[in-house]
Amino acid sequence: MSFLSRLFGPKPIIAKSKYKKITEVQSSGFSNKSVGAGYSMKPDVYYIVASVELGNTTTKCILTATNLNTSHSFLLDKTVKMTRDIRAPKEGEEVFGSTVWGVELTKESVSEMVKDTILESIKKADIDMEKDLDFVVRSTGVTAGFATPQEVGQLIIALANGCLEAGIPPRKMAPAMNVDNFPERLRDFTLLDKVEFDGAVVSVVPPSGKEVVANEMEGELVTAGIKLGSKWTKVDYRNPCVSMDFGTTLAGRVVNNDEPYAKTIGNYCGLAGAICDALIRGTNKVDERGGAALDLYNDNITKKADWKKALTNAKRVHELIDIRVVPEDRDRFGTVPVEPLSAKNAGTTLIGCDVGVNGDKLDELTKIGAEIYESDGLPTLFATLDYVSSLVVKRLIEVSVEQGVIVDGSILGVTGRAGISGRKPEFILEYAKGIFNDCIFVSDALALGSGIMARCMNSMGTPKAPIGGCQGGSCILGKRRKLQKK
């Protein structure tokens, strides 16, 4: 019996827009019915992808199933562990790096954490790793705090080892070479014999030349993931668009509307959720090193908050937050390794968010968090976090507008724990008014981006329900084929 026939009421990806007044978009779940005019009439087939993410705060395995006719993605399972719980290095193991919060990493300890997270997720989703799972994409935000390419290389190896130790076949971590390499059920959905993967993900190419920011891949994945998540809304989140990911570190892109491939004309980097985490550590209710706002967060946490006081608090916090175009003489901004000159040569504007210089004033935020907690209480402290993150978005938008990088008609997409929880979407919508045509909030866009990247690498587009291309436009398959024939 296949996992689809065992599974009841799978969860839709959470995607929010102003059309739904910031409420969750609902779905009736998987369906064997035809999908209606404009879509392919092939039988529904689902593409199952595991997104394995090692972040500074959380380590996740997120399993999604995407309907290859409609590009509607469903959440099968989301297993989350705290990265701070990675075991301590054993005698004889080499520490190759650490998280932003100083958690030491070895190849063996990372592999074990990744392996355990994958196996737990596969078990909870009740799928067969060999028969049901189609692809695995590995990603990490931890590299933002690394110092050398060698450290990054060790981490990539550790992630791969963890996947292999969990029993994932190597072929599920690399693109297919030809149509015959696909399972029979997927062969009708690949366009590999018509167009090759040339590095563009959902019709966007990264800055040319040397990598301009250490977490470039995160920006690429979240942009693609927001595009995929938008399929649950009425928003056509295609080029031109702007993406912002509020994980522990900040990632995101500003994308223009060139065809067939849009250019990345702006990049965001620096600190994001780490700002909220630093404030919440002032409560002494979370781990002093790896504690995070999500340790204490719940949907009713701000029910008794003083929102007027929260805004005043947030403005005080922002006196320590530095948001601007990254200066050319900096090799890090907000702890993230950057290449400002490479960005300039590539025609990309690099905009960063820092607390002091490379986070050297995060401890001051913890002191402020303690003061707010003592005088105003936990609900108002969390309300303060809503304003702090929203004002970061506001200032990022203002700098982007000043630099002239936002293309007319752009849509803003936001993801990440410190960007879409509480009343942040409400405030961000207000700040985005008059600048963007629309605004969308997507949960776990990086995981969705992993799913769509896997499809891009295997040329598995949906021409009748395109995710790439420009708003209101048709599929760019024909233009890509012409480009690749040159």
Query: What is the per-residue pLDDT for 341?
Result: 92
Per-residue confidence (pLDDT) for residue 227, from 0 to 100: 95
pLDDT of residue 486: 75
- Clarify whether residues 165 and 210 are in a common domain: no
Residues 113-127: what's their mean pLDDT?
A: 96
Radius of gyration of the chain (CA): 22
Q: Is residue 63 part of a domain?
A: yes
**Is pLDDT larger for residue 141 or for residue 400?**
400
Residues 69 and 147 in one domain: yes
Distance CA 251, CA 146 (A): 16
Looking at the domain assignment, is residue 115 inside a domain?
Answer: yes
**176 Cβ neighbours under 8 A, 6+ residues apart:** 182, 190, 192, 458
User: Given 154, 174, 194, which residue is the final one in a domain?
Assistant: 174
The pLDDT value given to residue 485: 84
What pLDDT, in 10s, does the model give residues 336-364? 989 999 999 999 999 999 999 999 999 99
How far CA 272 is from CA of 255, 279, 409, in Å, comes to 21, 12, 26
- Between vectors from CA 356 to CA 355 and to CA 360, what angle results, nearest 5°? 90
Residues 225, 90, single domain; the answer is no
CB neighbours (10 Å) of residue 205? 17
Same-domain check for residues 264 and 369:
yes
Q: For the purposes of burial, counting CB atoms within 10 Å of the CB of 7, is it exposed (0-12), middle (13-18) or buried (19 or more)?
A: middle
Residues 6 or more apart whose CB falls under 8 angstroms from that of 455 comprise: 47, 66, 461
Q: Note the pLDDT of residue 217.
A: 87
74 vs 317, higher pLDDT:
317
Going by pLDDT thresholds of 50, 70 and 90, the confidence category of residue 147 is low
- 382 is in which domain, residue-wise? 204-447
- Give the integer Cα–Cα distance in Å for 301 and 406: 35
Number of domains in the chain: 2
Q: Does 484 map to a domain?
A: no
Same structural domain, 246 and 356? yes
Q: Residue 165 — left, alpha, or beta (φ > 0 → left; ψ -120 to 50 → alpha)?
A: alpha
pLDDT in tens, 394-411: 999 999 999 999 999 999
Rounded percentage of the chain residues whose pLDDT exceeds 90: 70
Backbone angles phi, psi at 97, to 5 degrees: 175, -175
Q: Which residues contact 471 (CB under 8 A, 6 or more apart)?
A: 236, 238, 239, 240, 257, 409, 411
Q: Of the ranges 161-170, 318-327, 405-414, 476-485, which one carries the lowest mean pLDDT score?
A: 476-485
Judge whether 2 lies within some domain.
no
Residue 52's Cβ-side half-sphere holds a number of Cα atoms within 13 Å equal to: 30
For residue 31, is pLDDT > 60? no
- Domain end, chosen from 155, 174, 193, is at 174
Does residue 416 sit in the same domain as residue 344?
yes
Distance CA 84, CA 90 (A): 16
Same domain, 251 and 315: yes
Residue type for position 395? R
pLDDT at position 14: 52
Q: Name the nearest CA neighbour of 63 among 444, 455, 467.
A: 444
Region 292-311 average pLDDT: 95
User: Cα separation of 167 and 161, whole Å?
Assistant: 10
Contact by Cβ (8 Å): 207, 348: yes
Q: Specify if 414 maps to a domain.
A: yes
> Torsion-angle region of residue 337: left (phi > 0), alpha (psi -120 to 50) or beta?
beta
Judge if 225 and 126 occupy the same domain: no
Does 122 reside within a domain?
yes
pLDDT at residue 41, rounded to an integer:
52
Q: Do the domain assignments include residue 7?
A: no
For position 209, what pLDDT does the model report? Answer: 77
Strand, coil or helix: what is 273?
helix
Give the Cβ contact number of residue 109 at 10 Å.
Answer: 20
Residue 290 confidence (pLDDT): 81
What confidence score (pLDDT) does residue 102 get?
Answer: 84
Asked if 100 and 165 sit in the same domain, the reply is yes
Shared domain for 218 and 153, answered yes or no, is no
261 with 167, same domain? no
Model-level pTM? 0.88
| CB of 459 closer than 8 Å to CB of 194 | yes
> Can you read off the two tokens belonging to residue 63?
């399993």
- CATH number of the domain enclosing 89: 3.30.420.40
pLDDT interval class at 36 (50, 70, 90): very low
Pair 291, 146 in one domain: no
Q: 182 is written with which tokens?
A: 């696909």
Within 8 A by CB and 6+ apart from 153, the residues are none
User: Which pLDDT value is given to residue 464?
Assistant: 86
What pLDDT, on the 0 to 100 scale, is given for residue 232?
Answer: 87
Angle in degrees, CA 376, 378, 379, rounded to 5: 90
Q: How does residue 206 score in pLDDT terms, banded at 50, 70 and 90?
A: confident
- What's the pLDDT band for 250 if we cut at 50, 70, 90? very high
Give the pLDDT confidence of 433-450 residue by residue, as tens digits.
999 999 999 999 999 999
Query: Strand 411-415 to strand 438-442: parallel, antiparallel, or no bridges (unpaired)?
Result: parallel
- Domain assignment present for residue 237? The answer is yes
User: Which residue is it, tokens 């701070």?
Assistant: 84
> What CA–CA distance (Å, rounded) separates 166 from 162?
6
12 falls in which pLDDT band (50, 70, 90)? very low
The rounded mean pLDDT for the chain is 88
3-state SS class at 177 = coil
